[in-house]
Amino acid sequence: MTEAQLTPILCDLDGVVWLSHEPIGGSVEAIAALRAAGHRVLFVTNNSYAKVAQQEETLASLGIPAVGDVLTSSGAAATLLKPGQRVLVAGGPGVVEAVESVGAIVAGRTDDGSSPEAQLKTDANIDAVIVGFHRTFNFESMRRASAAVRAGAILIGTNDDATYPTSTGVIPGGGSILAAIATASGVAPIVAGKPFRPMGELVKRTLKITDLSSCWMVGDRYSTDGAFAKTIGAKFALVSSGVVDRAGAEKLQHEHKFEIVVDDLLGLVKHLGITI
């Protein structure tokens, strides 16, 4: 194995690869160059709603093959489950897929509109409630999720991002839904996505390595991506192609002492001495 193969690149999506699914200039070429040089590139996203195949297709449509290389916060949440456990899902299809992929059981979904009689069966003996972004969240969802937690289920959030940026402005994120359910349940949730440990566990399982100190994490947000790099002991490259500009990025580097600030993914390619 070459040294380059030992240096995986963990890459955030929004603000690094694309902005509202429009590719950021040079990102497609940069990822191709990193791979050609022998780096494994994994896309590490807090998006919990979409199924993995959908996210892979979005990347493929931009010219980035990504089958087997997309890690989501739903997948991270599922690392906390054991086969056969009964899960109540307050989230989207990505959460359902991840729960089933580890052999756990989706007992019900809080937005399935089922009758109180049906809920007596589906919502009994729940081991875990998993919460992710979904637009159908309402009072009934919150009631069912919190009842299961009060009856003994653990509360897992795919991520605690309070907001999510869209082309028409910021909307409430999965973290806001999680906060509502946690308040109603009277417990502190376990959070799976960046910057927390379960996402690191998913990276380790995917790469089949136990030490992530040789990895680079590339992201546009210090509070999630940079803090995640710190959690898993990886190196961090902050790009100024997303939520912060160059001056803001340098200020964060001064404050938090991480490795590098680059304009975009091409900047990381250059830093690693790879020529395109």
Helix (H/G/I), strand (E/B), else coil: 124: coil
CB of 219 to Mg ion, least distance (A): 6
12 is catalytic: yes
Min dist. Cβ of residue 19 to Mg ion (A): 9
Contact 104, 78 (CB under 8 A): yes
Nearer to Mg ion, 64 or 80 (CB): 64
As measured in angstroms, the least distance from the Cβ of 172 to Mg ion is 17
Q: Work out the number of other CB atoms within 10 angstroms of the CB of residue 220.
A: 23
Is the Cβ of residue 142 or residue 236 nearer to Mg ion in the bound state? 236
Kind plus residue range of the DSSP H or E element containing 169: strand 169-172
With respect to Mg ion, which residue has the nearer C-beta, 200 or 226? 226
Find, among 216, 211, 260, the residue nearest to 11 by Cα.
216
Q: Are 83 and 104 in contact (CB under 8 A)?
A: yes
Pick 91 or 193: Cβ nearer Mg ion? 193
Q: Tell me which of 14, 127, 225, 264 is the catalytic residue.
A: 14
Q: State how far the Cα of 34 lies from the Cα of 32, in Å rounded to an integer.
A: 6
Q: Which residue is nearest to Mg ion (CB)?
A: 15
User: What SS3 class is residue 78?
Assistant: helix
Q: How far is CA 7 from the centre of its chain?
A: 21
The strand pair at 18-19 and 22-23 is best described as antiparallel
Closest CA to 114 of 94, 133, 140: 140
Q: Which residues in this chain contact Mg ion in the complex, by CB under 5 A?
A: 12, 14-15, 220
* Residue (8 or 15) nearer to Mg ion, CB: 15
Is 69 catalytic? The answer is no
What secondary structure does DSSP assign to 188-235, as a single string? PPEE-STTSHHHHHHHHHHHT-S--TT-EEEES-IIIIIHHHHHHT-E
Q: Alpha-carbon distance 275 to 165, whole Å?
A: 33
Q: State in angstroms the smallest separation of the CB of 158 from Mg ion.
A: 15
Q: Which is nearer to Mg ion, 55 or 122 (CB)?
A: 55
Q: What is the amino acid identity at position 273? A: G
Minimum gap (Å) between residue 14 Cβ and Mg ion = 4
Q: Which residue of the set 12, 127, 225, 264 is catalytic?
A: 12
Min dist CB 246 to Mg ion, Å, is 16
Report residue 245 CA to chain centroid gap: 23
Catalytic residue ranges: 12, 14
